[in-house]
Amino acid sequence: MIPIITIDGPASSGKGTIARKIAEKLGFHYLESGAIYRALGLWVLKNAAGNELSNDELVGLIDEMNLSFKNGNVYLNEQDVTNELRNEQVGMLASKYSAIPEVRQKLLQFQRDFAKLPGLITDGRDMGSVVFPNANLKVFLTASAEKRAQRRFEQLQGTDKSVKIYDVLQDILKRDEADSKRETAPLTYDASFKLLDNSNLSIEETIGQVLDWFKK
């Protein structure tokens, strides 16, 4: 059996950082599922910006996408798009298109194919609830909206000094609402998940807790 750890949680809860570091420690494969939805947002921006697409047209666009992950970078049709994917506009489009059931269905098997030995750690919104419901460990990682906005603000300031913390917080609140209220695969957890609020935990402490649960 292939060991699988899922880490779901809201935007900027630190899922990606934690999952990536645990993948390194355990030598596991890593799947950042949000990057898939972001890549779709970027692909639409590049190929059909300004068009209102039907769900069939969106699914058709997915067929044209050639998405791959190499050494921590994301490639879309052979082009390195790692940095472009972090853009807020791309994140908003990802949130919009990820609410469409046909889009999620289309991407399901693509995600499941990442489960390979020696193991997989993956992060997103529905990795434990829909994509890998039988994972060995399912974590719901969260932090207060203010803490998450502060972390995202510090990240963004690296590239854009004009960014305002108020705007970052509003974006986070909007995305929380969209991701948790949608009908298909909303951001949620149940008793089969371990809940971890890392508002007052360091990255190392958060990793330590996840590894403790995994080893038990």
Judged by CB under 6 A, does residue 11 bind ligand DC?
Answer: yes
Q: How far is the CB of 57 from ligand DC (least distance, A)?
A: 19
By C-beta, is 95 or 142 nearer to ligand DC?
Answer: 95
Phi, psi (rounded to 5 degrees) for 202: -80, 170
Q: Please tell me whether residue 176 binds ligand DC under the rule CB under 6 A.
A: no
Looking at residue 135, the DSSP 8-state letter turns out to be -
Tell which positions 120-159 bind ligand DC, by CB under 6 A: 124-127
The only residue of 4, 29, 121, 179 in contact with ligand DC, by rule CB under 6 A: 179
Strand order in the sheet with 67-70: 67-70, 73-76, 79-80
Smallest gap from residue 121 Cβ to ligand DC (A): 13
Nearest-CA neighbor of 76 among 87, 68, 84, 86? 68
Compare residues 91 and 119 and give the one whose CB is closer to ligand DC.
91
Long-range Cβ contacts of 144-152 (<8 Å, 24+ apart):
144/199, 145/169, 145/172, 145/173, 145/176, 147/199, 148/10, 148/11, 148/12, 148/13, 148/172, 149/12, 151/12, 151/14, 152/11, 152/12
CB of 215 to ligand DC, least distance (A): 25
| 28, 30, 31, 33: residue in contact with ligand DC (rule CB under 6 A) | 33
Which amino acid does the sequence have at 90?
V
Name the amino acid, one letter, at 5: I
Q: Is 13 in the site for ligand DC (CB under 6 A)?
A: no
Nearer to ligand DC, 11 or 149 (CB): 11
Interface contacts to ligand DC, rule CB under 6 A: 11, 33-34, 37-38, 91, 94-95, 98, 124-127, 175, 179
